[in-house]
Every structure is written in C-alpha cells, then in structure tokens.
Structure 1
Amino acid sequence: MSAEFLTRLRTQLPTSVSTDQQELAASRVDKSGWVADGTPLAIVHARSIADVQQTLRLATEFRIPVVTRGAGTGLAGGACGGGGSIVLSVAGMNRILEIRPEDELTVVEPGVINQDLNDALAEHGLWFAPDPASKAISSVGGNIATNAGGLLCAKYGVTREAVLGLKVVLADGRLLEMGHRTVKGVTGYDLTALMTGSEGTLGVIVEATVRTRRVVQGTTVTLGAVFPDVTTAAAASAQLIAGGVGPAVMELLDPVALAAIAGYLGADGTAGLPIDGGAFLLVQTDGAAAVAEAELAYELLTASGGVTRMSTDAAEGERLLAIRRACHPALAALGEVLIEDVSVPRSRMAEMFEAIAEISARTGIAIPTVAHAGDGNLHPNFVIQVDPARPVDAPVVPEEIWEAASELFRAALALGGTLTGEHGVGILKRRWLKEELGDTSYELQRQLKAVFDPLGILNPEAMFEGS
C-alpha cells in the first residue's frame, strides 16, 4: 500500500516529493528536542493549494497519516513526522498575496516568516502584532496553528485576535473558506477561531487573512528593574497592572535564569544594572501615554524595592531588552533546553514561581524560569546534559525531568491556570490534557476532530492519546 501510494504521489506531484534521508530525519524533530518514532515515508513540498489538496486526497484514499509542517520551530513536538506518515511541508507557500492599508488587513500563505511579513508591512506603516520570540524564523501558519503569543501579546493580543479568515484544506481534499475580511462578523459558528490553535488536527491552513495594525506612534520608554527575589518582582508586576499601567512588554526573569544570563553576557551586558543576583523585571510602554505610564511604573517599581533604570533612548532600551533576549542563548550554552509553557492568572503568578522553586529544591533539578508577566504566561526551562554517545533515537528528556514537569503542570492547574499558554499540546503534553479539560470536554473534542477528520489521518499523534 505504501509503495503504491508513493508511486501515485510521485506521478501526480513529480517535482514535490522527497525521500531524501537527511530531509526525512530533520522532519522528525522540532525545537523541543522531541524525536518522533520511525521515519516518514516522504516529504511533500507543497507550493500551491492544489498540491495540498492532491496530497490529502491520496492520503485519504490510502489512509496515510499526514503531519503538516511549516518552519519546524514548534516546542511541543506537534509537527514531527513519524513512521509511516507523510510530512506535508507548507514552508514553500510563502507569498504575501495582498496588503490593504485602508482595511488594515493582509492576505498571506502559511509559510510566510513573521519578520519578512513585518518588513513588508513597514513600507505601509503597518505591523503584524503577534510577536513570538522566534519571529525571525517562525511562520504565520505555525503561529495560527498554535495560537502563538509573544512579548507584546498582553497589550496587542495573541494570534487568534489577529486572524480574520482562513482557507483550509480538509482531510479529504475539499477546500473550506471561513471567516471574513471585516473586523466584525458573527455569521454562523466561528470556525476561524476553532481552527486557530488546532495544531494541524482539523485541516491544513493554506491561506490566512490577518488583521494588521498601524505602527505605534510616539515615544517608547523602556524600564529594567532588579529585585531581591522573584516573589517581590512578581508582586510588583501585578501592582503595575492594578495601578493603571498598560505595558506593551512586561517580562520577568527569576534568579536562576538571570544568573545564567549574567554569566553569558559578562560585565558589558548588564545595562548598568546589578543582574548578578536577584530577579529582573523588564517593562516597556508605547503610544501616546507611554511617558506618563513609564513614570508611574518607575515610581511603583522603586517603591517595591526595585533597582530601576528608565530610558527613552532607543539604544539604551535595546540594551535593557537584550538582557531578556539573552535568556535562551544563555541556557542553550549550558546544554539541551526543554522550554516549557504554563499560564496562571496574573494575581497567582508569585505563587507559581514559589511552586517552581519548591519543586526545584525538592528534586534537585534547576528550573530557570522566564515569564510574560503581563499575562501570567511562564516558561520554566529544563537544561539537560545530553550524552553525545546516546543512540540517535533515545529520548533527549529523561523521565525524571518529565516527573518534575508533571508536578509543575499540576501546580499551574491548581492555581486556576492552563497547561499551555502558547506552545500548544502537540505530543509532549497530551498525557495531561484530560486533567485540564475533564472527561466530558475531552470526549467532545475528540468527537469534534472526527467531524473534520473522520479517518483520523491528520496529525493523529498530536493532542489526544490513542487517537
């Protein structure tokens, strides 16, 4: 069956199908370090909607699993090709089809890179608000598939708020158009919102109409503050929001993460702050009220015990931002990094940091943590020393790390939070999904998938166990 399928696939898409072993191996992994079991049958490099439709028609006929893949920058194992599957790459569908400044919307193919989109939009005085840390290498289709967030989402929203309409190819090859080109629209069920965050389990996104914003005018002010401990810093971040500050960026680094960054950056990277100890809070305000908000933030941060710097100078602001941006390079210099992702209500963030510190102390596992403090989204990190002699198929993440992560996930749920704020469920978190959803919701969601994908061929390993 597989041989006949590949023969038919090559016949109908003669220039798009690859069985190159290096390509197949690369398609089994993402940025999480997850390695899918087995080797995919082939990779289809789609360059048109017709390519996607033809692939899915054949996959349905032969009941071949299909894993859709974009830039491969995922952090939950959700786009990794396993044994017997077809990897459907939409990275080559990377055209910006339309920019409408008067309507503040843009139409793109899924493989468009975030930074490339914003570079093109800048010529029109526009920008695409979703701002993942991986924006230089991640794609808009991947943003939509995982409902990605980023540093700016507390003020400007996650990807779902920016998606107006989609074209999606269903498992049987039918093309489904959903959504609209207007800001308002409530006709029928909101399938666009449903598809956003569905991780390739309901259909393949082949085109997106996204909302773009006018470039923010006025002064941008950046503040950096060092606190004696992360609990005090988290409490100060909550006070900013309660006090009426609406930061565009508010990032929090715990002492373990900050120590790694201080060692990585050296004396020249401190931006004049004592980052060799304590916790770091980064705040940036923009728009017409930026200066007034920043001055209020400075007062609140200082009164809370923070050693604070504030600047309207762009270069100085970049030096402060560089402390936050150095987090993942600093940790990656120490070993393989599992970047985890939980969210809690902002008012419970200090408690979540305390829970992480307790788990770390009890297990002896260092868990450097960074948070999007503006919305309560925390990224606990596990730095893993990988034996270079390990078998290529051996798990990168040892079971004791997953045991600590499991405690961490349950602590977030107990605080009224969620397993994932922006990375998605993928493969790595599916074993905890039912704990958050409950039996009834979990079963309904499985039934919903069956409506869109009755044969269960679309990314069948993602989200639901045993699907």
Structure 2
Amino acid sequence: MPHPTTATPSAGGIDLAAELALRELIALLPEGAVLVGSAALADYSHDDAEWAPFVPPLAVVLATSTDDVAATVRFAGANGLAVVARGAGTGLSGGANSVADCIVVSLERMDRVLEIDVGERLAVAQAGVINNALRIAVAEQGLWYPPDPASYAISTIGGNAATNAGGICCVKYGVTRDYILGLTVVLADGQTVRLGRRTAKGVTGYDLTALMIGSEGTLGIITEVTVKLLPLAGREERAIVGYFPSLTAAGDAVAGVASAGIVPSALELIDRMCLRAVEDWQGFGLPSDVDTLLMAKVDEPGSTGLALAERIAEIFALAGGVHVELATEQDEVDRLFLARRLAYPALERLGPVLTEDVCVPRGRVPEMLGRIQATAERHDVVIANIAHAGDGNLHPLIIAPVGDEAAKARAKEAFDEIVADCLALGGTVTGEHGVGLLKLPGAAQELEPRVLAMHRAIKDALDPAGLLNPGKAFPDQRARTGSGASDARTRGEA
C-alpha cells in the first residue's frame, strides 16, 4: 500500500471555489485524513486492472470511522462531487478507479476486528481488515472464515464484500455473500444504516444485505461487516495432483469430477506458462516438463476422505493424467497451492496482464479452454491460464509487452472474443472480480434490457444523483445530476 503524505490545497490544478471546498473538507475530518498532494492522488487513482481508464481524484480521504465516511459523502453531495470507495486497491476490473470530479474514500485505516463471538460463531470487522488477518484472528478462537480469494493476504474484507469475492475453497464452501450476516453501510445521502442480522436465520423484509454485496460501491459504502464462521476442527486435508498433456485434458478431468457428483474443497488449474513464471520468481522446485497441473483437495476426515481422494485420482488418470499422485506432505500441498496464488503477480513481472474472469458451467470447461487456446493463436497473443476449475471460473491472463501497441490491440480483441465465447457456452462475464469498468461491454451483452432497467431503478432509488462510484458495475448508467459545481472544475488535473 502507498504511504502518501498530507498536503494543503493548491490552486495549480483546480479553481478557487474547489480549493475553498477542499479546505472545508479538511476542516470536517481528523487531522491528516485528507490528501491532496499530486503523488497521493496518483497512488489512489486506480486499482490493479491493466488498461482500465482513470483520472486523478480531487482528494483522498483516509477514513478511520464510519462517521468519517458519512461526513465525506455528505460533503460530496453538497458540492456535486462523486465518491469512489477503495479498500486495498487489489481489484482487477477497475471498480475502484477514480473518475472526474471525485473524492476517493480509502477504508484501509479501518482495520480492526471489533468482535469475535465464539458461541454464535460470528465476527464483526471493519471494512479495511485484511482477509487473512480476519482468518488468523478467528482461528485463534477455533473458528474458520472460509472465503479465500487468491489475494487473501492483501485484499480487504470490505473489498471482498463489494465484489462478492470467491476463492480457492468456494467450490465447496461458497463465496463471500454466503458468509455475510450483516453490514454497516453509508448511503448516498450520508446516512448510516445497519442491514442484516446476527442470528442464524432471518427473513424480515427484502434481503438488502445481499443486494449490497457485489454492488461495487455503487449503492452504498460498506464500513463494517458481520460474518458467520465455521468450526476450524474436523477437517483433514488431502491433495490430489495430476499432470496433464494439455489444457483440454485437464478440463476433461474437471468435468469428470463434476459429473461424478464429487465436491472437492478445492480444484485448481495452472498451466505451463504460469508454473514457469512462478518458478523463475520463487524457485519452488515446480515441475517444468508438464503442460498443465491440476490440483484437488478434499477435507473429509478418515476413510471417507481417503476414498474421495482415490476416486478423484482415478478420474484424473482416466482423463489423460500422465502422472497422478496423492500428496501426503502438508508442506508439498501448501507449496503447490501457493504457486497457484502467486501465478498472477508472477506473470505481472513479464508485462502488463489483462485478466479475464469468465465462469462457465463445469461441463463446458474443456470446450472453453479449447476456445481460449484457439483465440490466442488467432490473435497472436500470449494467454496463460489459471482457474478455479472446480466451479468453472477461468482466469485467462493475456500478456502484452510494454510499449507494443499492436499487441495491446490484439489483446483487447482476444479479451472480447473470450467474453463472447463464454456467453455462447451459457456462462457469465465475471465470476468474482466484479464488472468494474473492464466488463461493462460484456455485462451489456449478458443482461437483457429489462434486467438493466431493474438495475437502473435500484440505482436511482438509492443514489438518485449518481454520487457513488458512477459508471461502474452495470452498463448504461446515466450521467450524475449533481449541483453542477463539478462542471466548473478542471477534470483530471487535481
């Protein structure tokens, strides 16, 4: 995370009225909470999505409480400004990218686990708590928070909620939405509401908690999250590792596991290019002579777990696995799954990576992988592949050399073709990263007009001025209808 310093407003990039307004914002919030220096604005302008557009914000607010967030939203509404909420900036769709005439509200300093209730198996955390920090805190009480996105060591629980993040174990245990009981949310008018419950069951009213999860900060800003937890004990992990001669053979194994009715606790795919990139970076001793590695886990204890592991190994072999083994050493299991988590940052070292997030029915995984390979050849681009294969969530990673504009153009064409193929196979354009900016064209293809109109109606009801993260999450958002003060400001030059 960046560590910018505070600064006082300067009229060099914004007009006098804007400068006076920012002084008012500085006075509203604790000392040091508002950043306006050019370096800070640059640091907080975008997430980790390559090629998603952004402009510098007018200011960055480092919130330390829900009250800070509410005060900022009220100030923005009164001055015709937009508000973009941000966690750790690890997103891969441009969902946290700043827009013209906006204030970025960073929740990174709201990083406390407020409560762990062992009896009720729940925890309350501020939005800026890192996913893995929450997992460690509850593990000390014998509890487990299952959602584990690949970025679990650096992404925040609030950002996970805003995008409904998944992860490696979601094939069996579900995604973020399945574990959130309640939320504290700042609405577009600056009011704070508490949604959801703390009980095991509850169906009073519409499920507004679920509505907020995955809304990418367009309906409200999540500041606290109440999550349900599972017992940590009772799981006995076994891993099955298969080496395959091709992506499609590995895809056949994935389809075979699904058709056999087996629900592993993880089923992950990593191809040769990713393996090589991780090995060159980390020196793990990973195999270099295989095309595709498929890794499964089961966590049922005793003979039940052993029988499931042996059955998965049989399916891997029948699908063409040239070498299949049950990994018995925990260090070896951890090393292989860490390689899967490190694949994306390892590839980033080779050049800008345009990341897909398509999800197809599990039975169509082999065909989708084949289509991705064909797309790479047709457009003469390099596409590496990792996947949460057990739930059909594929992450083709398109790499273009720095400064090669022709390759960048071909990469974008390949990106669009993969989206079209995914939809043709009955899939969805984003399984866990969110629509953000990169997936707006794909979302327009996936959502029928009446459904888009429903999105628009919900947005208008909760944020009639289009204040919160405008232009994200769903296509055809109309322009904001603020006070007009923003028209007088110089766009993108703060």
- The reply to whether TM is greater than 0.5 is yes
- Counting only pairs closer than 5 Å after superposition, residues 386-425 of structure 1 correspond to structure 2 as 386-387=402-403, 398-425=408-435
Unaligned runs of 5+ in 1: none
Instruction: Tell me whether 1:127 sits opposite 2:137 in the alignment.
Output: no
Kindly provide the CA deviation profile for residues 337-376 of structure 1, in whole angstroms up to 9, marking residues without a partner as x. Answer: 2221100000111111011111111111111111111100
Equivalent of residue 354 in structure 1, options 370, 382, 406:
370
More displaced, 300-309 or 404-413?
A: 300-309
- In the TM superposition, residue 226 of structure 1 has moved relative to its aligned partner by 0.7
Partner residue, 1:365? 381
**C-alpha contact 2:84 2:102 (8 A) present in aligned 1:** yes
**C-alpha contact 2:142 2:233 (8 A) present in aligned 1:** no
Partner residue, 1:449? 459
SS in 1 for 2:391: coil
Structure-2 separation of matches of 1:14 and 1:83 = 25
- Counting only pairs closer than 5 Å after superposition, residues 427-442 of structure 1 correspond to structure 2 as 427-442=437-452
Structure-2 separation of matches of 1:44 and 1:287 = 46
- In the TM superposition, residue 79 of structure 1 has moved relative to its aligned partner by 0.6
Amino acid at match of 1:226: Y
**C-alpha contact 1:229 1:255 (8 A) present in aligned 2:** no
Partner residue, 2:293? 280
TM-score when normalising by structure 2: 0.88
Instruction: Tell me whether 1:309 sits opposite 2:325 in the alignment.
Output: yes
SS in 1 for 2:410: helix
Equivalent of residue 338 in structure 1, options 350, 354, 361:
354
Equivalent of residue 315 in structure 2, options 300, 310, 313:
300
Cα distance change on mapping 1:20 and 1:335 into 2, 3 Å: same
Partner residue, 1:143? 160
More displaced, 319-328 or 157-166?
A: 319-328
SS in 1 for 2:383: coil
**C-alpha contact 1:251 1:370 (8 A) present in aligned 2:** yes
**C-alpha contact 1:154 1:374 (8 A) present in aligned 2:** yes
- Counting only pairs closer than 5 Å after superposition, residues 166-315 of structure 1 correspond to structure 2 as 166-258=183-275, 260-261=277-278, 269-270=285-286, 275-288=288-301, 289-306=304-321, 307-315=323-331
- In the TM superposition, residue 145 of structure 1 has moved relative to its aligned partner by 0.1
Cα distance change on mapping 1:219 and 1:312 into 2, 3 Å: farther
Kindly provide the CA deviation profile for residues 87-114 of structure 1, in whole angstroms up to 9, marking residues without a partner as x. Answer: 0111111111110111111011100001
Cα distance change on mapping 1:145 and 1:14 into 2, 3 Å: same
SS in 1 for 2:167: coil
Cα distance change on mapping 1:96 and 1:371 into 2, 3 Å: same
Structure-2 separation of matches of 1:363 and 1:409 = 15
SS in 1 for 2:394: strand
- In the TM superposition, residue 466 of structure 1 has moved relative to its aligned partner by 4.8
Number of positions where the alignment pairs a residue of Structure 1 with one of Structure 2: 457
- In the TM superposition, residue 121 of structure 1 has moved relative to its aligned partner by 0.8
More displaced, 145-154 or 27-36?
A: 27-36
**C-alpha contact 2:54 2:97 (8 A) present in aligned 1:** no
Structure-2 separation of matches of 1:83 and 1:133 = 31
Equivalent of residue 96 in structure 1, options 113, 116, 127:
113
Cα distance change on mapping 1:65 and 1:252 into 2, 3 Å: same
Structure-1 separation of matches of 2:115 and 2:259 = 40
Partner residue, 2:14? none
Cα distance change on mapping 1:152 and 1:396 into 2, 3 Å: farther
Amino acid at match of 1:353: L
Amino acid at match of 1:299: E
- In the TM superposition, residue 384 of structure 1 has moved relative to its aligned partner by 2.1
Amino acid at match of 1:414: A
Q: Which runs of 4+ in 1 moved over 4 A?
A: 258-266
Identity across the alignment (%): 44
SS in 1 for 2:61: strand
**C-alpha contact 2:182 2:198 (8 A) present in aligned 1:** yes
- In the TM superposition, residue 263 of structure 1 has moved relative to its aligned partner by 5.5
- In the TM superposition, residue 147 of structure 1 has moved relative to its aligned partner by 0.2
Equivalent of residue 98 in structure 2, options 58, 81, 86:
81
Cα distance change on mapping 1:115 and 1:365 into 2, 3 Å: same
Kindly provide the CA deviation profile for residues 264-299 of structure 1, in whole angstroms up to 9, marking residues without a partner as x. Answer: 566x613xxx54232211111113232221111122
**C-alpha contact 1:222 1:320 (8 A) present in aligned 2:** no
SS in 2 for 1:47: coil
Kindly provide the CA deviation profile for residues 193-230 of structure 1, in whole angstroms up to 9, marking residues without a partner as x. Answer: 10000000000101111111111424311111111111
**C-alpha contact 2:380 2:410 (8 A) present in aligned 1:** no
**C-alpha contact 2:95 2:472 (8 A) present in aligned 1:** yes
SS in 1 for 2:390: coil
Kindly provide the CA deviation profile for residues 163-222 of structure 1, in whole angstroms up to 9, marking residues without a partner as x. Answer: 111111101111111111122211111101100000000001011111111114243111
Structure-1 separation of matches of 2:291 and 2:54 = 42
**C-alpha contact 2:381 2:400 (8 A) present in aligned 1:** no
- In the TM superposition, residue 402 of structure 1 has moved relative to its aligned partner by 1.5
Kindly provide the CA deviation profile for residues 117-147 of structure 1, in whole angstroms up to 9, marking residues without a partner as x. Answer: 1111111011211100111110000000000
- In the TM superposition, residue 255 of structure 1 has moved relative to its aligned partner by 4.4
CA RMSD of aligned residues (A): 2.0
Cα distance change on mapping 1:228 and 1:262 into 2, 3 Å: farther
TM-score when normalising by structure 1: 0.93
Unaligned runs of 5+ in 2: 1-16, 479-494
